[in-house]
Amino acid sequence: MSKGHILIVEDDFDISNMLRIYFQSQEYEVEVAPRGGEALERCRQQPPEVIVLDINLPDIDGFEVCRRLRSTLRTSHIPIIFLTQRDERSDKIQGLELGADDYITKPFDIEELRLRVQRALEWYRREGLTEPNTGLPSGKLIEEQLRELMRRDDWSFLFIGINYKEQFDNVYGFIAGNQVLRSLAHILNQTLNELGTPDDFVGHRGGDDFVVITTTERGPAIRDRIVARFSQEVGTHYNFMDRERGYIVAKDERGQEQKVPLMSLAVGIVTPDDGPFSDIREITEVAAEKRRIAARQMQAQSQSRLPA
């Protein structure tokens, strides 16, 4: 399993290539962007867990990249470590004022940079800000966004779960199960890129509990797209035989074999019309109940297609 997903934003090929090779050898997933604009696009497509960001870039400087990342909801939480030749106090202050988490100057000790990356990741995970497997915002950040809903009139809250995930894990193992979660995170990010806005939010509470926050109008289309995408791609997580017959054979609590359909998504969607709401707990309770109803409907449809 990867230790974390790093984006290196550096226009010097020798430096970026050296960092890519080094961090990959340390079991990190590494992407490289030589320009600020490309870095912003990569973060929009698939947000990393930590960014090593050079200030001197050929298009927009690192300060502007940092400012845009911090002003966009889906990337505002990502740890940023500035990497630059500058060693002036004013530059450090400007970077920290924009929300950078750390600052290291060239020439640098690569072991020191590794420790700073490791520390940033560990702090965010320890504080419950990101979910380690998917890198998505988690506990505290999700709660903050829910509280923000109480001050808005235009929102949809999507509470997403995976039907038959437990049985899949029992047959295929937890490593395969973790890959399913990462795949769903990718689907959610891509769907928001296509149908959402820069201020939409996606989070992973843990287990197979995911959340999306978008506008009232966009909520149903986003729900339908992620359900359809997951259904289209879920077969890649199964072996050929299970994929072709459309089910797996798993044991129930009594040790009896049973046919279990392929995984599907259950989504509970809540808007202000389901209120009024006096606190965020009420929103999550309604979303959980709607998800249970959606799960029962999806499971009934799946069971009806199983062979006798």
* Stretch 201-218: mean pLDDT: 96
Stated pTM of the model: 0.84
**CA dist., res. 256 & res. 251, Å (int):** 5
Task: List the end-to-end C-alpha distance of the chain, in Å, as a whole number.
Answer: 39
> Of 7-11, 95-99, 132-136, 197-201, which has the strongest mean pLDDT?
7-11
* Confidence at residue 88, expressed as pLDDT on a 0 to 100 scale: 66
Which CATH fold would you assign to the domain 139-304? Answer: Alpha-Beta Plaits (3.30.70)
Report which secondary-structure segment, H or E, holds 250.
Answer: strand 247-251
pLDDT at 68 over 90: yes
* Stretch 262-280: mean pLDDT: 95
* Stretch 20-26: mean pLDDT: 96
Count CB neighbours of 88 within 10 A.
Answer: 10
* Confidence at residue 54, expressed as pLDDT on a 0 to 100 scale: 92
**CA dist., res. 291 & res. 281, Å (int):** 15
- Percent of the chain past pLDDT 90, that is, above it, reads 70
* Stretch 270-299: mean pLDDT: 95
Q: Select from 3.90.780.10, 3.40.50.2300, 3.40.50.150, 3.10.20.30 the CATH code of 5-126.
A: 3.40.50.2300
pLDDT interval class at 87 (50, 70, 90): low
**CA dist., res. 79 & res. 89, Å (int):** 21
Residue linked to tokens 């399993």: 1
Could you tell me the two tokens for 263? 């995984």
pLDDT at 236 over 70: yes
* Confidence at residue 2, expressed as pLDDT on a 0 to 100 scale: 77
* Stretch 282-290: mean pLDDT: 97
At 251 the three-state DSSP class reads: strand
* Confidence at residue 1, expressed as pLDDT on a 0 to 100 scale: 63
Could you tell me the two tokens for 98? 């924009």
* Confidence at residue 74, expressed as pLDDT on a 0 to 100 scale: 83
Nearest to 248 by CA among 235, 232, 265, 233: 235
pLDDT at 273 over 90: yes
- The domain locations on the chain are 5-126, 139-304
* Stretch 107-122: mean pLDDT: 91
